[in-house]
C-alpha cells in the first residue's frame, strides 16, 4: 500500500499566515515569472519569504503585490486538499521542492482556482478567514528579495 501524507503529518504552521503564503507565492509567480519562495519563515505575528529575482520590485510593483494578494483574499475562495498521484500533481503544481522520500500519492492544497501546491501544512477553510495582507518591509541582496508581511 502506498504511503499517503495524512493530516497527522501536517506541519504546525499558523493556518492564516500559511494560507497567505500560498497566495503570495502564486502572486509572485504570476507577476514576476519566478519560482515559489526559496525560503520561508511563517509565524502568527509576521512572516517572511525569499524570492530569487533579477532585481528588486519597485514601489509600484510592491503596491500591486499587496493589491493582488488582498483581491484573492477578498474573493472568499475555498481552501481544500486533494490527494493525487505525482503524475497528476505535476500537471498543476511545481514539485521541484518535493523531498526525495515523498510518497507517490501527494496532498495538494488548492486555494480556489488561484493556486495549487503540494503541502503538508495547515490551512484555513476559506480566504475570508485571513484578514488584510500588509508588507512590513523588504530588502534585496545578491538576487534574493526578502519580503516580511503580516495579516491584520
pLDDT tens by residue, 2-30: 334 444 444 567 999 999 999 999 999 99
Q: Give the separation between CA 130 and CA 31, rounded to whole angstroms.
A: 22
Residues in the chain: 152
Query: Is residue 76 a contact partner of residue 128, using CB atoms and an 8 Å limit?
Result: yes
Residue closest to 97 by CA, chosen among 11, 45, 34, 39: 39
| Cα dihedral 145, 146, 147, 150 in deg (nearest 10) | 160
More confident residue, 84 or 6: 84
**What percentage of the chain carries pLDDT values higher than 70?**
91
Residue closest to 73 by CA, chosen among 5, 35, 26: 26
Domains and CATH numbers, the chain: 7-151 (3.30.980.10)
Q: Give the separation between CA 93 and CA 25, rounded to whole angstroms.
A: 12
Whole-model pTM: value is 0.91
> Residues 103-122: what's their mean pLDDT?
95
Using DSSP's 3-state secondary structure scheme, residue 141 falls into strand
Using DSSP's 3-state secondary structure scheme, residue 49 falls into strand
Question: With 90 as the cut, is the pLDDT of residue 39 above it?
Answer: yes
- DSSP E strands, the chain: 39-41, 47-52, 79-85, 105-111, 115-118, 133-141, 144-151
Grid coordinates of 4: 499517503
Q: Give the separation between CA 39 and CA 95, rounded to whole angstroms.
A: 15
More confident residue, 48 or 1: 48
Amino acid at each position: 500500500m502506498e504511503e499517503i501524507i495524512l493530516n497527522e503529518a501536517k506541519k504546525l504552521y499558523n493556518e492564516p499566515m500559511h494560507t497567505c503564503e500560498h497566495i503570495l507565492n502564486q502572486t509572485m509567480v504570476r507577476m514576476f515569472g519566478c519560482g515559489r519562495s526559496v525560503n520561508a519563515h511563517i509565524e502568527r505575528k509576521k512572516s517572511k519569504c525569499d524570492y530569487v529575482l533579477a532585481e528588486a520590485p519597485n514601489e509600484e510593483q510592491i503596491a500591486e503585490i499587496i493589491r493582488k494578494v488582498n483581491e484573492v483574499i477578498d474573493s472568499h475562495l475555498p481552501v481544500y486538499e486533494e490527494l493525487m498521484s505525482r503524475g497528476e500533481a505535476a500537471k498543476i503544481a511545481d514539485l521541484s521542492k518535493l523531498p526525495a522520500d515523498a510518497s507517490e500519492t501527494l496532498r495538494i492544497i488548492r486555494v480556489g482556482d488561484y493556486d495549487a501546491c503540494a503541502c503538508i501544512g495547515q490551512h484555513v477553510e476559506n480566504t475570508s478567514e485571513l484578514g488584510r495582507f500588509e508588507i512590513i518591509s523588504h530588502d534585496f541582496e545578491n538576487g534574493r528579495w526578502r519580503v516580511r508581511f503580516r495579516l491584520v
